[in-house]
Amino acid sequence: MAADGGEPGTVRPGGRTARVRAAVLRAAEDALIEKGFAGLDLADVARRAEAGKTTVYRRWGTVAGLVADLLQDMAERSVPRTETGSLRGDLAANARLVRETLADPRQGALFKALIAAAAGEERTAAALHRFYGTRIAEWAPVVERAVERGEAPAGTDAAEVIRAVSAPLYYRFLVGGGPLDEELATRAAEAAAVAARAGVYAPADTP
Amino acid sequence: MAADGGEPGTVRPGGRTARVRAAVLRAAEDALIEKGFAGLDLADVARRAEAGKTTVYRRWGTVAGLVADLLQDMAERSVPRTETGSLRGDLAANARLVRETLADPRQGALFKALIAAAAGEERTAAALHRFYGTRIAEWAPVVERAVERGEAPAGTDAAEVIRAVSAPLYYRFLVGGGPLDEELATRAAEAAAVAARAGVYAPADTP
């Protein structure tokens, strides 16, 4: 779970292998932000990271392998959920976090490059879906707590509520265009909270 | 508005120029579906369309110019809105249409290629935003009618409601992964209808 923890059980955290991995992944991020997935090249990443080219080829093999490891690392470093005591407050905190990430010039460019790469490459798509799976699972308990407090009906699909908060932000970011402003984040959270409360994310036959 | 109407006012609909445009745009679609934006090449498109290479270079100039014209043509050919008499029914019809488009192997691959291209290329992003602007404007009146019928408060942002219907479908398509099933479309429409009715898309100070 550490920022540069390497492969659990195989590498001493903070050791040389972990340091090389951290440097290579940061270099891969830089290259993706500057040139996109199509411009990503293992030799260039090794040069930027001041790592041995042989090491990089041996450890990551391909550009897709490197990107999959970057997404794994991003999942490990992702920000833990906030619990405010109300579904509305928790979803608003999540929406703010998503908005800040996508609106940040570096992070936004990185996510755009990764999502574009996933659109054309199966292995990257699978790694991207795992990344979002981890992120959604981190936040889903805020909906489970809300169900326990009676703020949403039993059987509510917690993961779908969390995805519903992110969806309008990603839609504007990738598809519709326009500013990733706070109003968008606030509305996304409120819409998901209202719909969850109304039972939209619960099976129709739940009492 | 015709499927192959060429440039309004300059070209006789159904004339030779319009036929060449239609053939070139279909060839561009095929190439995007097979190879993605990075594999798009004007000479290859001319060959596929059995059109003169010089004509294609003179008329479209660049790959980005060709893609912008394809998006313009897609906007002109997009399916008109359905009016069912209720906001819920209209949004469900829209969600079904979006789902069918993205779940269709050819259309889905085309949209994925176009959205990935827009992530790395400003001119394509602008053309994509215009395409979605047209599509959203076509459907926004169903929300305006709903406001007139009292199904949502005055001041409701009609375009945002329509975007809210599409957002969960695009999120799963591009980001989260998973099946683009009918349940997802139904929930997207219901969530948007419930949130619109609750005033989430209206200014807080609207009476």
Look up residue A39 and give its DSSP letter.
G
A171·B170 Cβ contact <8 A: yes
Interface test with B, best of A122, A136, A190, A200 (most B CBs within 10 A): A200
**What are the chain B neighbours of A170 within 8 Å (beta carbons)?**
167, 170-171, 174-175
Rounded average pLDDT over B68-74: 96
Q: pLDDT value at position B6? A: 42
**What are the chain A neighbours of B163 within 8 Å (beta carbons)?**
168, 171-172, 176
Amino acid at B19: R
Q: pLDDT value at position B12? A: 57
Q: What angle do CA B77, B79, B80 make, to 5 degrees?
A: 115
B119·A113 Cβ contact <8 A: yes
Q: How far is CA A39 from CA A29, A42, A68, B57, B92, in A?
A: 12, 10, 16, 26, 41
| Neighbour-count burial of B178, counting CB atoms closer than 10 A to its CB (0-12 exposed, 13-18 middle, 19+ buried) | middle
Pick from B117, B164, B176: CB nearest A163? B176
Q: Is the pLDDT of residue B5 over 50?
A: no
Of A158, A67, A49, A160, nearest to A115 by C-alpha is A67
> Predicted confidence band at B206 (pLDDT cuts at 50, 70, 90)?
very low
> Predicted confidence band at B207 (pLDDT cuts at 50, 70, 90)?
very low
A81: left (phi over 0), alpha (psi -120 to 50) or beta: beta
Place of tokens 């036929």: B19
Q: pLDDT value at position B72? A: 95
Rounded average pLDDT over B104-115: 96
**Residues B32, B46: Cα–Cα separation, whole Å:** 14
Tokens representing B49 are 């369309």
Of A176, A82, A96, nearest to B171 by C-alpha is A176
Look up residue A37 and give its DSSP letter.
G
B174·A177 Cβ contact <8 A: no
Tokens representing A139 are 């936040």
Residue of B nearest to A187 (CA): B200
**What are the chain B neighbours of A190 within 8 Å (beta carbons)?**
195, 200
Of A192, A22, A178, A65, nearest to B168 by C-alpha is A192
Q: Is the pLDDT of residue B205 over 90?
A: no
A120·B116 Cβ contact <8 A: yes
Q: pLDDT value at position A79? A: 85
Does the domain at A15-65 match CATH 1.10.490.10? Answer given as no
**What are the chain A neighbours of B129 within 8 Å (beta carbons)?**
176-178
Q: pLDDT value at position A4? A: 41
- pTM score: 0.91
Pick from A125, A178, A191: CB nearest B200? A191
Q: pLDDT value at position A38? A: 87
3-class SS letters over chain B:
CCCCCCCCCCCCCCCHHHHHHHHHHHHHHHHHHHHCHHHCCHHHHHHHHCCCHHHHHHHHCCHHHHHHHHHHHHHHCCCCCCCCCCHHHHHHHHHHHHHHHHHCHHHHHHHHHHHHHHHHCHHHHHHHHHHHHHHHHHHHHHHHHHHHCCCCCCCCCHHHHHHHHHHHHHHHHHHHCCCCCHHHHHHHHHHHHHHHHCCCCCCCCCC
**Residues B59, B28: Cα–Cα separation, whole Å:** 14
Architecture of the domain made up of B78-197:
Orthogonal Bundle (1.10)
Provide ipTM, 2 decimals. Answer: 0.91
Kind plus residue range of the DSSP H or E element containing A156: none
Residue % of chain B over a pLDDT of 70:
92
Q: Is the pLDDT of residue B204 over 90?
A: no
Question: Looking at chain B, which residues constitute the CATH 1.10.357.10 domain(s)?
Answer: 78-197
Q: pLDDT value at position B13? A: 61
pLDDT along chain A (207 residues), means of 10: 44 79 97 92 97 96 96 92 95 97 97 95 95 96 97 98 98 97 97 98 73
Q: Is the pLDDT of residue B9 over 70?
A: no
**Residues B37, B43: Cα–Cα separation, whole Å:** 14
Q: pLDDT value at position A206? A: 46
A115·B36 Cβ contact <8 A: no
Distance of CA A82 to the CA centre of its chain: 16
Tell me the average pLDDT of chain B. Answer: 92
* Residues of B contacting chain A (CB within 8 angstroms): 36, 38, 112-113, 115-120, 125-126, 128-129, 132-133, 136, 160, 163-164, 166-168, 170-172, 174-178, 187, 190-192, 194-195, 198, 200-201
Q: pLDDT value at position A71? A: 97
Residue of A nearest to B132 (CA): A176
Question: Looking at chain B, which residues constitute the CATH 1.10.10.60 domain(s)?
Answer: 15-65
**What are the chain B neighbours of A128 within 8 Å (beta carbons)?**
175, 177
Q: pLDDT value at position A13? A: 61
